[in-house]
Amino acid sequence: MTERLYYDQPYLTSFDAVVTDARPHGSGCAVSLDRSAFYPTSGGQPFDTGALNGLPVTDVFVDEAGEVWHSVEGALSPGDAVRGEIDWARRFDHMQQHAGEHMIAGSVWRQFGGTTIGLHLGAAFSTIDVTMPHGETHLTPDQIRAVEDDVNGEIQRDVPIRCWFPDEAELAALPLRKPPTVKEHVRVVAIGEREMVACGGTHPSSAGQIGLVKIIDARPSKGKTRLAFVCGMRAVRDYREKYDACTRAAALLSAQPAQLPKAVTRLNDAVAALEHEISQLRQAEALAQAPAIRERAEVIGGYRVAAAKLGPLAMDGLRRLATELTRDEGAVALIAAEREGGYSLVFARGAAVNLDMGRLLREAASRCGGKGGGKPDFAQGSSPDAAALDAAKDMLRGM
């Protein structure tokens, strides 16, 4: 069985070992070693990468018997002496994220009674799912700030992080945040005096090495609260990216970064006012076209079918135009107006028309890859193009 060096030496970046077994795996091979500093995927923490005798290690995993296997791009044989090299940047990043997760989970548990279920260390950010008391599925902004202040306070105090395998008697007496998920070889991680939990991952020797913890998202997920966070250099990069974006946006609005929310609100209000004005002008223009559209109407099946393809027009404007065109009790209005990605459709009928507009629109739109429906006298929908109008006319001719 592989001696797992990372348990006691998480800062070890190179080591010597002997290949104990090898088997074909992908384009290379998978090998087990008598000793290894490579962390295998486990407990939500991804595997280490690096090299064995210069051959890239692309995966590290544990089989059902508990043996650690290393996927290598190349060939190695049992008995080969190897020099292992760990990708330290990746390893230390995972150490920071994993320790930060413990501290966040511990703070949520202490302050709000939330129990962490699961960890995922992603490439850009990490997440935990938390079961909150009373079925709650979110944390408020004030609660999130309380967790961040608590955790970063411990980081600034650089509290120690200790990892060890207690004996059975000691384990039973330890104030663990939650019960271990394994019964044998239980490894415990303690961060300062307020966080202690069973964990087999890699962690720094003190909280100060985490640098900074920032929760970047909190939302409901399958009845739980999912917290997304970044630690260490990930948090620094996240701050830099958002600072740069905020600074650029503020400059575009001739405002200071702290004034950006008010500046954006003013801009949104101005845009909304202009959009309303444009909508009213488009609506007026469309209504002004009603006589010409009515004049071009075709007689199909005994009904006057007024069809029109228009430029951009809000649905309210489409409805008003359809109402105007169907003042004639024997008229049918088929209208399409440009919208992002296609056309909005409105079909309507006059009081003397015995046709189902909902069915007509639904079937005409579906022929063109669109959708919609409605009541017998009025229907609306959308279509990738305005061919739905011609499809509707063809359908009316066949009735």
pLDDT of residue 195: 97
How does pLDDT run across 225-243, given as a tens digit for each residue?
999 999 999 999 999 999 9
Indicate the CATH number for domain 92-240.
Answer: 3.30.980.10
pLDDT of residue 178: 93
pLDDT of residue 301: 85
How does pLDDT run across 268-322, given as a tens digit for each residue?
999 999 999 999 999 999 899 999 999 999 999 889 999 999 999 999 999 999 9
Assign 1 a pLDDT band (cuts: 50, 70, 90).
confident
Which whole-number Å values give the CA distances from 262 to 54, 268, 312, in the listed order? 56, 10, 30
| Segment holding 370, helix H or strand E | none
Collapsing DSSP states into helix, strand and coil, what is residue 173? Answer: helix
Q: Report how far residue 200's alpha carbon sits from residue 6's, in angstroms, rounded to the nearest whole number.
A: 10
Residue type, 41: T
Q: Which residues contact 52 (CB under 8 A, 6 or more apart)?
A: 31, 70, 72, 76, 82, 83, 84, 85
pLDDT of residue 365: 94
CATH match for 286-397 among 3.20.20.70, 3.40.50.850, 3.10.310.40, 3.40.50.150: 3.10.310.40
pLDDT of residue 183: 85
Sign of CA dihedral 361, 363, 364, 366: positive
Question: Residue 24's CB: how many other CB atoms inside 10 A?
Answer: 9
Q: Report how far residue 18's alpha carbon sits from residue 270's, in angstroms, rounded to the nearest whole number.
A: 71
Question: In the chain, where does the domain assigned CATH 2.40.30.130 lie?
Answer: 3-86
Q: Class for domain 3-86, per CATH?
A: mainly beta
pLDDT of residue 26: 87
Helix orientation angle between 357-367 and 387-397, rounded to the nearest 10 degrees: 120
pLDDT of residue 399: 74
Assign 181 a pLDDT band (cuts: 50, 70, 90).
confident
Q: Identify the weakest region by mean pLDDT among 28-37, 128-137, 140-149.
A: 128-137
Q: Report how far residue 147's alpha carbon sits from residue 22's, in angstroms, rounded to the nearest whole number.
A: 47
pLDDT of residue 138: 87
Q: For residues 251-261, give the mean pLDDT.
A: 94
Q: For residues 76-96, give the mean pLDDT.
A: 98
Helix orientation angle between 233-252 and 88-112, rounded to the nearest 10 degrees: 80
The tokens describing 5, both together, are 């060096």
Q: For residues 171-193, give the mean pLDDT.
A: 94
Question: In the chain, where does the domain assigned CATH 3.10.310.40 lie?
Answer: 286-397
**Is there a contact between 286 and 372 (Cβ–Cβ < 8 Å)?**
no
Q: For residues 39-52, give the mean pLDDT.
A: 96
**Is there a contact between 128 and 106 (Cβ–Cβ < 8 Å)?**
no
DSSP type of residue 174: S
**Is there a contact between 195 and 210 (Cβ–Cβ < 8 Å)?**
no
Collapsing DSSP states into helix, strand and coil, what is residue 177? Answer: coil
Q: Does the pLDDT at position 134 exceed 90?
A: no
Residue 228's beta-bridge partner residues? 127, 217
Provide DSSP, 41-88.
SBTTBPPP-EEETTEEEEEEEE-TTS-EEEEESS---TT-EEEEEE-H
DSSP type of residue 328: S
Radius of gyration of the chain (CA): 33
Assign 70 a pLDDT band (cuts: 50, 70, 90).
very high
**What strands, in cross-sheet order, belong to the sheet with 126-131?**
115-121, 126-131, 224-231, 213-221
| E runs forming strands in 250-302 | 298-300
Q: Does the pLDDT at position 184 exceed 90?
A: no
Q: Report how far residue 57's alpha carbon sits from residue 234's, in angstroms, rounded to the nearest whole number.
A: 24
**Is there a contact between 316 and 276 (Cβ–Cβ < 8 Å)?**
no
pLDDT of residue 118: 84
Q: For tokens 């690096």, name the residue.
A: 50
Question: In the chain, where does the domain assigned CATH 3.30.980.10 lie?
Answer: 92-240
